Structure 1
Amino acid sequence: MKEIIKNIFTSLGSDVCGIAGIERFETAPKGFRPTDLYSKCKSVIVFGITLPKGLWEVEPRLMYEHFNTISCSMVDYIALSASSRMEKEFKCTCVPLPCDAPYNSWDEESMTGQGLLSMKHTAVAAGIGTLGKNTLLLNEVYGNRLTVGAILTDIELESDPYAKSICIEACTLCLDICAVNAINEDKVEQKKCRLNSYGKTKKGFDTVECNKCRTVCPVGKGLKRTV
């Protein structure tokens, strides 16, 4: 069944897909566990699509922002479509989650937000990758270029093996390049990062002013260069 499920996501355009049993979320913060959203959840199916490597080679202000936003909509579409197909094929229940916004958790003073589930930590639980020093998800094939989504289901599935870290132990490039020193001790001060990274054009279009901690990563494009 696992391979059939993964093939559904692949057929919809997903580049990666992994599965985490509910036991892998026992230590997640209260309020941010799959069962806090759907009490009958037994497994979480995590998937992702990849942004082109070329977006790592250009000034991010407009092009990166535009297509990164589009990738979120694409991931949400896959989550919705896969949920519908699974419910028809397996007579199960599936709950698609938004890969980014909307979410309720927000602290105005620190500008800290939390999604319904942490997609990067959910991806780690499903064996898709590990976290780098900049807290971004790192995948062996796609580096830090994945936009990740997830669905909750009442089907009990075996968890995939955890991924091995590809983060270079002695490397501190992402920490050193941050102009506002927002990255420290495997955490990011969201207020510093948000104020430095996001803006708008004179016409009001959203912009990404900085994504250097992502693009400077020596394994940010993945280790398998054929992809």
Structure 2
Amino acid sequence: MEERIKQILMNLGADLCGIANVERFKNAPQGFHPKDIYKDCKSVIVFAKAMPKGLADVNPRIVYMKATDVNLNELDRLSYSASLEIEKLGGISVPVPSDSPYDYWDEDKREGRGILSMRHAALLAGIGSMGKNTLIINKRFGNMINIGAVLTNLDLKSDLLSEEMCIASCHLCLDNCPQKALNGLTVNQKLCRKFTYSNNARGFGVCNCNQCRVICPRVLGER
């Protein structure tokens, strides 16, 4: 069953796919557990879509931002289509928005939390390991991926966790963050957001900084 489900995602266009049984989410914060979204959830199917290599070295940033939007929309298409296909196997499925809308928002800290942490879901499903920049690093695609998920009541076997991909002695992302928003474990969203995201004169959203991603030695992986 696990391999059939993974093949569904790959056939639909995913570049990576892993599975985490819901038991792996026992340390999820209250209100952000898969069962808080879907009470009968037994497994989380996590998948990723790679971003073009060229986006690691692009300016102006509107190109990067637009491509990221396209990538996230593609993940939503995948989660929706995969949910329908998985239900043909006899389960019930719930597509989770890839860029999860914030139910939790702390205005003072400018801190938001998605209804499901895609990064932690990817970590628990063996997609990759967590970098000091808080991005998931995959051996094949580096950190140039975005992540989606499907919840299901099918009781599936978890994949093995990923080997550690972040280089222990490397601190490039920490040292080169212009806002000093990284401490190796978390990101200060207030410092990051006010510098990173804005609108240009025409009103289009732009990403002014992705330094923590592109300076990483693992940015492009082995592809």
- Shorter-chain TM-score: which interval? over 0.9
Length-normalised TM-score, structure 2: 0.98
Correspondence for 2:174: 175
Residues 68-83 of structure 1: pairs in structure 2 closer than 5 A: 68-83=68-83
Q: Give the number of aligned pairs.
A: 223
The Cα shift of 1:101 comes to: 3.6
Report the equivalent of 1:9. 9
Provide closer, same or farther for how the CA distance between residues 8 and 60 of structure 1 changes in structure 2, counting only shifts above 3 A.
farther
Are 2:96 and 2:149, in contact at CA under 8 Å, matched by a contact in 1? yes
Q: CA separation in 1, counterparts of 2:84 and 2:121?
A: 21
1:96-115 to structure 2, matched below 5 A, reads 96-115=95-114
Judge conservation of contact 1:60–1:210 (CA < 8 Å) in 2: no
- Using the TM superposition, give the Cα deviation of residue 185 of structure 1 relative to its aligned residue in structure 2, in angstroms: 4.0
Distance 1:211 1:60, change over 3 A: farther
For the residue of structure 2 that corresponds to 1:71, the secondary structure is helix
Residue 23 of structure 1 and its aligned partner are, at CA, apart by 0.7
TM-score by length of 1: 0.96
RMSD: 0.9
After TM superposition, the structure 1 = structure 2 runs for residues 1-227 of structure 1, keeping only pairs within 5 Å, are 1-59=1-59, 61-88=61-88, 90-222=89-221, 224=222, 227=223
Q: Distance in 2 between matches of 1:126 and 1:141?
A: 16
The CA deviation string for residues 106-130 of structure 1, in whole angstroms up to 9 with x for no partner, is 1111110000100000000000001
Task: Indicate conservation of the 8 Å contact 1:60/1:211, yes or no.
Answer: no
Deviation at 1:208, TM superposition (A): 0.4
Q: In 2, Cα distance between the equivalents of 1:86 and 1:61?
A: 37
Which stretches in structure 1 are left out of the alignment for 5+ residues? none
Secondary structure of the structure 1 residue equivalent to 2:36? helix
Instruction: Give a deviation string over 1:37-76, Cα, whole Å, max 9, x none.
Output: 1111110000010001101011251110000011111000
Post-superposition Cα deviations, 1:80-123, rounded to whole Å, max 9, x if no partner, equal 000011112x1210010001142211111111000010000000
In structure 2, stretches of 5+ residues that fail to align are: none
- Residue type of the alignment partner of 2:208: E
Q: Displacement, 1:36?
A: 1.1
1:176 partner letter: D
Runs of 4+ in 1 over 3 A off after TM superposition: none
CA contact (8 A) 1:44 1:152 kept: yes
Q: Structure 1, residues 127-162: CA drift from partner, whole Å, max 9, x if none? A: 000100011111011111111000100000100000
